[in-house]
């Protein structure tokens, strides 16, 4: 495991005290089934709460797009699996807290109506929290990446509950629950500029291209913009204070990529959208890119050992971005692209040894504190000038 010795955040310690024990965690010990039960029970209960209070907890832009019969059935399945996994953990494990918690969450979700709750309320209410968006993304990403990280781990001994996982989980929670407010801010530069400058002829010819070609152009333009903004976040000291949050992870996995200061999220994504909006790409091409980026950005942080050697020159694999997070001085301020590694080769900022992965990650001296609120406030603290020299 690549982590240096570091103090655990309070939330890590609190959860460990609540759920932890000295029993083994291998398959058949009731640990994985207990964790799965708590995870699925919490997802089920959260989903039922969204059904009860859709006007507050479901995202206004998405709520009408959901395939409701499918989601209702899925919630019932999730409740059932949470019960079964909880029961299994209760049978296998001496300490029962995981199994009991999972079963209690699933029971509460079922008692509150499960997937059968009628969706009522003022669904035209514009300002909402995106609990639905958080739960859907958490469920889908965990479904893909938890098995991948267990079957093909880069760091076999790294627990999903490594130091700082709760900080990353809160980052993930905040950036999804605040989706509506963040989208508004992210769209602001693109929509403002698009209102000022409308090259109708150019936009019509962009949209007349086949969708696959538009998708490739979107990928190129988005990564060119992302490369420039990302490089600025590394090289302008004031911006680095914000981006240092992302680089403070001492271990990488699918959750670590969520560790981003909100200003970093808004500025980077906002500026990436500007060329795409100005050129007027068709909605399906933009949507395909958004789906692609939400999986690819998680994949390149994941604790997986895929080399994807044939793709390595054209599409960023995990090893390329892992080197971007390396603590080693020779890898510092390298590999800014998140999709197209040849952009870094073109601009002379690539660092990818022929073989091997970074031995450890993060910023030398570990200047960034753990904890979500501490990280949100960190760039604004005036007593730490010269961050980059640490
Ligand atoms: Zn970076
Ligand atoms: Zn990263």
Q: Tell me which H or E stretch contains 136.
A: helix 131-151
Q: Tell me which H or E stretch contains 81.
A: helix 68-92
Distance 234 CA to ligand 1 centre (A): 6
Condensed to tens digits (0 to 9), the pLDDT of residues 268-281 reads: 999 999 999 999 99
Condensed to tens digits (0 to 9), the pLDDT of residues 74-88 reads: 999 999 999 999 999
For residue 141, which of 258, 56, 245 has the smallest C-alpha distance?
Answer: 258
The model carries a pTM of 0.92
Of these ranges, 13-22, 60-69, 361-370, the one predicted with the greatest mean pLDDT is 361-370
Distance 331 CA to ligand 1 centre (A): 11
Condensed to tens digits (0 to 9), the pLDDT of residues 133-147 reads: 999 999 999 999 999
> CA-to-CA distance for 284 and 290, rounded, in angstroms?
10
Distance 247 CA to ligand 2 centre (A): 7
If one counts every other C-beta atom within 10 angstroms of the C-beta of residue 364, the result is 13
Distance 360 CA to ligand 2 centre (A): 14
- Asked if residue 254 lies in contact with residue 308, where contact means CB atoms within 8 angstroms, the answer is no
> CA-to-CA distance for 46 and 267, rounded, in angstroms?
30
What are the start-end ranges of the E strands in the chain?
Answer: none
> CA-to-CA distance for 289 and 268, rounded, in angstroms?
16
pLDDT at position 252 is 96
For residue 364, which of 337, 323, 327 has the smallest C-alpha distance?
Answer: 327
Q: Kindly state the tokens that stand for 271.
A: 């500026």
User: Mean pLDDT lowest for which of 52-61, 131-140, 314-323?
Assistant: 52-61
109 class by beta-carbon count within 10 Å (0-12 exposed, 13-18 middle, 19+ buried): buried
């Amino acid at each position: 495991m690549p982590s240096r010795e570091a103090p655990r955040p309070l939330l890590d310690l609190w959860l460990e005290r609540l759920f932890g024990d000295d029993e083994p965690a291998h398959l058949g010990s009731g640990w994985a089934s207990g964790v799965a039960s708590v995870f699925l029970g919490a997802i089920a209960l959260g989903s039922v709460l969204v059904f009860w209070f859709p006007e507050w907890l479901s995202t206004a832009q998405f709520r009408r797009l959901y395939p409701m019969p499918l989601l209702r059935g899925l919630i019932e399945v999730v409740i059932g699996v949470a019960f079964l996994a909880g029961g299994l953990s209760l049978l296998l494990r001496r300490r029962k807290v995981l199994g009991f918690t999972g079963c209690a969450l699933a029971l509460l979700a079922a008692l509150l109506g499960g997937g059968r709750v009628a969706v009522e309320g003022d669904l035209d209410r514009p300002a909402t929290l995106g609990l639905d968006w958080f739960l859907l993304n958490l469920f889908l990403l965990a479904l893909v990446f938890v098995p991948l990280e267990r079957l093909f781990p880069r760091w076999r001994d790294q627990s999903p509950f490594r130091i700082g996982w709760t900080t990353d989980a809160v980052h993930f929670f905040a950036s999804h629950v605040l989706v509506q407010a963040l989208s508004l801010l992210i769209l602001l530069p693109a929509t403002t500029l698009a209102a000022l400058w409308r090259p109708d002829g150019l936009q019509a010819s962009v949209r007349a291209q086949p969708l696959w070609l538009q998708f490739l152009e979107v990928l190129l333009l988005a990564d060119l913009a992302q490369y420039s903004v990302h490089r600025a976040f590394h090289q302008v000291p004031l911006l680095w204070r914000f981006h240092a949050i992302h680089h403070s992870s001492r271990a990488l996995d699918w959750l670590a990529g969520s560790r981003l200061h909100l200003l970093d999220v808004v500025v980077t994504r906002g500026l990436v959208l500007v060329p795409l909006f100005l050129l007027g790409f068709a909605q399906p091409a933009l949507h395909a890119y958004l789906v692609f980026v939400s999986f690819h950005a998680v994949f390149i942080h994941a604790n997986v050992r895929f080399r994807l050697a044939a793709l390595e020159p054209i599409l960023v694999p995990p090893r390329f971005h892992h080197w971007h997070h390396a603590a080693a001085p020779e890898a510092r301020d390298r590999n800014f692209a998140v999709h197209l590694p040849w952009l870094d080769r073109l601009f002379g900022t690539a660092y990818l040894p022929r073989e091997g992965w970074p031995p450890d990650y993060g910023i030398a001296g570990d200047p960034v504190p753990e904890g979500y609120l501490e990280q949100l406030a960190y760039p604004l603290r005036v007593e730490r000038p010269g961050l980059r020299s640490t």
